[in-house]
Amino acid sequence: MANAIRALAMDAVQQANSGHPGAPMGMAEMAVALWGQHLQHNPGHPQWANRDRFVLSNGHASMILYALLHLTGYDLPMSELRNFRQLHSKTPGHPEHGLTPGVETTTGPLGQGIANAVGMALSEKLLAKEFNRDGHAIVDHHTYVFLGDGCLMEAISHEACALAGAWKLNKLIALYDDNGISIDGKVEPWFIDDTPKRFEAYGWHVIRGIDGHDAAAVSAAIAAAKGLDKPTLICCKTIIGFGAPTKQGKEICHGSPLGDAEIAATRASLGWTAPPFEIPAPIRAQWDARARGAAAEAAWSQRFAAYRAAHPELAAELDRRWRGELPAAFASAAEAYIRQCQEQGESPATRKASQNCLDAYGPLLPELIGGSADLAGSNNTIWKGSRSIAENAAGGNYIHYGVREFAMAAIGNGIALYGGFIHYSATFLVFVDYCRNALRMAALMKQRHIFVLTHDSIGLGEDGPTHQPVEHLAGLRATPNVDTWRPCDAVETAVAWRAAIVRRDGPSALILTRQNLPHQPRSADQVEAIARGGYVLRDCAGTPELILIATGSEVQLAVAAAQQLEAAGRKVRLVSMPCSERFDAQPAEYREAVLPRAVRARLAVEAAQGDCWYKYVGLDGAVIGMTSFGASAPADALMVQFGFTTANVVATAEALLG
């Protein structure tokens, strides 16, 4: 069975003339043990809710996963394996969730897979606690991970595995492919970690010294890991490229095809006589997991039917959560809350307005879960309904992540992928740097994941330039499939939160202030228009001479400037643009109505690096933005220092008008 994997891996990589044969060949017996003996899954129905989760954290070994999915009976025909790494195939270079049935998460950026798996294992634990009842273990499965040296060197493995230990995620079982080789060669000179000792320091159970090429030994270790009260790391000593006579155990087989001669020699040494992309029927039968999987799901479905009979409302709610649909009452309640915010006209900091949204929307959304990287009080992420998951009671919905931004974001991705939850991750905007690639992965995987990013500019004041974002908005806006909201008051904040919750095909970043922002008056139509991402907040009669565009804390400044310019007889329009991605997605007529092409005197104001605004102001317009890092001082002093004053906006506007 293991050699079937090896043959498919080396043949597919050779055919593509690109890819990583070594790791799949080295982990083949580990796969036989886990997928052959333990994994509860149903190839005919990859979405079965109670399946075990399997994460290939060392995603470059993608061919082992494709081989397993193919061999066990998923809808991944041999033609797809022949098309490894080709355009429009279901077998991309690294496994992509949503593209290939049975791929639980997209991996490749090392270390994030294990963090996703921590999120999945946490989801299982929390969902079980919330929905299981005596005699009805409806949510009850394991999460398995394969990971390699690279994942363990990566920083994020520290954060994620420390949390897994703190949370006692006993149904998380990780198998470490300890082959001692990375791209640069034998890792010994730069990787001397005593990994078992390190994981024991995190509160894991560690099973040492397993021969990774002894499937029975690996299987026994997995069996031993089940039923413990901690997560388990199984250390499997393997040889990379196992079976390749001259290349095994060397970095040369890590990321390049073996070559025809070596492949032939490998076939001979393994006694594998089948031609490329052919699997002998007896071996195919051994691997085929369709009948077993269908039976497993059928048995579970029976148990679920009994659960539904005993607890019909719980079952219906769990169904809804799994489907990812919002409660029926949410839409109208959110609409009413937004209207109420407009009517009440309060002027909090938008981070506080965000907390108010949690208080308003949270009670409607038992699926809402989240946390902050040790900034709960500053990010305002704890709301009235927050209960720590550490309390060990059902209904925990608040996660104290500690100072661990990257793990938070990647664990949040795992929670989103698992389903049944809507996750928010919070930190200061500047520290999105620490979790940047996980946010990207949420976008790439089209996951609903809400990033609450407060302290959004020099307006945070005294903490200084290390804490003041400048370039981050540009970076987020340039990232495909991220909606970046920078609301100007409590009303826009409420719309942004609603949009982030409603959105099902990608993450949203909510960019919020530390400082208070004044309420803006709006008509009902204007309130409605916020969701379009950009709208006319204040207008003149007739065609404007000048258009001001602003977001967040700079809208108040633009309002004051517009008033002065109007007093001086200028015809000024003010566009609030909380979400340029949403605005860009509007029909051309709407965009033209807001920003008429003929009006070229345009001025954008935002306390961030401003080059992205030239898209809207063009060569004849101007941007008042940040052109350097900030400084440590009270916020008001900084705003003056860096030109965010009414006088500067007015003067720049007058200069544009000539």
Q: Which of residues 37-66 bind its own copies (CB under 8 A)?
A: 59
3-state secondary structure 176-202: EEECCEECCEECCCCCCCCHHHHHHHC
Among 82, 129, 198, 308, binds its own copies (CB under 8 A): 198
**Residues 73 and 44: beta-carbon distance below 8 Å:** yes
Q: In terms of Cα–Cα distance, which of 110, 113, 174 is closest to 142?
A: 174
Residues 110-139 that bind its own copies (CB under 8 A): 110-111
Is residue 416 within the footprint of its own copies (CB under 8 A)?
no
Is residue 106 within the footprint of its own copies (CB under 8 A)?
yes
Among 192, 281, 329, 524, binds its own copies (CB under 8 A): 192
Is residue 609 within the footprint of its own copies (CB under 8 A)?
yes
Among 292, 320, 614, 648, binds its own copies (CB under 8 A): 614
Is residue 197 within the footprint of its own copies (CB under 8 A)?
yes
Binding range to its own copies, per CB under 8 A, among 34-42, 466-474, 496-504, 536-544: 466-474
Q: What's the N-to-C CA distance of the chain in angstroms?
A: 78
Is residue 604 within the footprint of its own copies (CB under 8 A)?
no
Among 75, 278, 463, 528, binds its own copies (CB under 8 A): 463
Is residue 466 within the footprint of its own copies (CB under 8 A)?
yes
Among 78, 268, 299, 478, binds its own copies (CB under 8 A): 478
Which residue type sits at 146? Answer: F
Instruction: Show the binding pattern over residues 583-602: x = contacts its own copies (CB under 8 A), - = does not.
Output: --------------x--x--
> Residue 600, exposed/middle/buried by CB under 10 A (0-12, 13-18, 19+)?
middle
173: alpha, beta or left? (left if phi > 0; alpha if psi -120 to 50) = beta
**Residues 657 and 489: beta-carbon distance below 8 Å:** no
Is residue 407 within the footprint of its own copies (CB under 8 A)?
yes
Binding range to its own copies, per CB under 8 A, among 258-266, 304-312, 348-356, 440-448: 440-448
Residue 507: Cβ within 10 Å count: 32
Instruction: Please state whether beta strands 232-237 and 172-178 pair in parallel, antiparallel, or not at all (unpaired).
Output: parallel
Is residue 150 within the footprint of its own copies (CB under 8 A)?
yes
Based on CB atoms, which residue is closest to its own copies, 359 or 471? Answer: 471
**Residues 212 and 58: beta-carbon distance below 8 Å:** no
Residues 300-329 that bind its own copies (CB under 8 A): none
- Sheet strands (E) in 220-342: 232-237
Is residue 566 within the footprint of its own copies (CB under 8 A)?
no
Task: Give the separation between CA 625 and CA 319, rounded to whole angstroms.
Answer: 48
Residues 499-558 that bind its own copies (CB under 8 A): none
**CA-CA-CA-CA torsion sign (418, 422, 426, 432):** positive
Please work out the total of residues on this chain that contact its own copies, with binding judged by CB under 8 A.
Answer: 113
Is residue 643 within the footprint of its own copies (CB under 8 A)?
no
For the bound state, the minimum distance from the C-beta of residue 224 to its own copies, rounded and expressed in Å, comes to 23
For the bound state, the minimum distance from the C-beta of residue 233 to its own copies, rounded and expressed in Å, comes to 13
Is residue 89 within the footprint of its own copies (CB under 8 A)?
yes
Based on CB atoms, which residue is closest to its own copies, 298 or 390? Answer: 390
Is residue 464 within the footprint of its own copies (CB under 8 A)?
yes
Task: Give the separation between CA 227 and CA 170, rounded to whole angstroms.
Answer: 7
Binding range to its own copies, per CB under 8 A, among 30-38, 119-127, 486-494, 606-614: 606-614
**Residues 385 and 397: beta-carbon distance below 8 Å:** yes
Is residue 180 within the footprint of its own copies (CB under 8 A)?
no
Q: Is 405 a catalytic residue?
A: yes
Task: Give the separation between CA 106 and CA 61, rounded to whole angstroms.
Answer: 12
Is residue 462 within the footprint of its own copies (CB under 8 A)?
yes
428 phi, psi to nearest 5 deg = -70, 150
Based on CB atoms, which residue is closest to its own copies, 164 or 491? Answer: 164
Residues 480-509 that bind its own copies (CB under 8 A): 480-481
Residue 480: Cβ within 10 Å count: 9
Number of H helices, E strands in the chain: 28, 18
For the bound state, the minimum distance from the C-beta of residue 66 to its own copies, rounded and expressed in Å, comes to 12
Based on CB atoms, which residue is closest to its own copies, 73 or 231? Answer: 231
Could you say which of 80, 124, 367, 405 is catalytic? 405
Based on CB atoms, which residue is closest to its own copies, 296 or 410? Answer: 410
Q: In terms of Cα–Cα distance, which of 110, 118, 183 is closest to 153?
A: 110
H or E stretch at 290: helix 290-310
**Residues 141 and 40: beta-carbon distance below 8 Å:** yes
Binding range to its own copies, per CB under 8 A, among 330-338, 362-370, 419-427, 429-437: 429-437
H or E stretch at 508: strand 508-511
For the bound state, the minimum distance from the C-beta of residue 403 to its own copies, rounded and expressed in Å, comes to 4
**Residues 570 and 653: beta-carbon distance below 8 Å:** yes
Q: Look-up: residue for tokens 């029976």? A: 302
**CA-CA-CA-CA torsion sign (205, 210, 215, 216):** negative
**Residues 487 and 520: beta-carbon distance below 8 Å:** no
Binding range to its own copies, per CB under 8 A, among 181-189, 302-310, 450-458, 505-513: 181-189
Binding range to its own copies, per CB under 8 A, among 327-335, 339-347, 438-446, 543-551: 438-446
* CB-side neighbour CA atoms (13 Å) of 394: 8
Is residue 201 within the footprint of its own copies (CB under 8 A)?
yes
Based on CB atoms, which residue is closest to its own copies, 422 or 470? Answer: 470
Task: Give the separation between CA 577 and CA 591, rounded to whole angstroms.
Answer: 11
Among 22, 43, 93, 257, binds its own copies (CB under 8 A): 93
Residues 373-392 that bind its own copies (CB under 8 A): 374-378, 388, 390
Based on CB atoms, which residue is closest to its own copies, 198 or 292? Answer: 198
Based on CB atoms, which residue is closest to its own copies, 470 or 559? Answer: 470
Is residue 96 within the footprint of its own copies (CB under 8 A)?
yes
Question: Any bridge partners for residue 400, and if so which?
Answer: 372
Q: In terms of Cα–Cα distance, which of 552, 543, 533, 546 is closest to 617?
A: 546
Catalytic (active-site) positions: 405
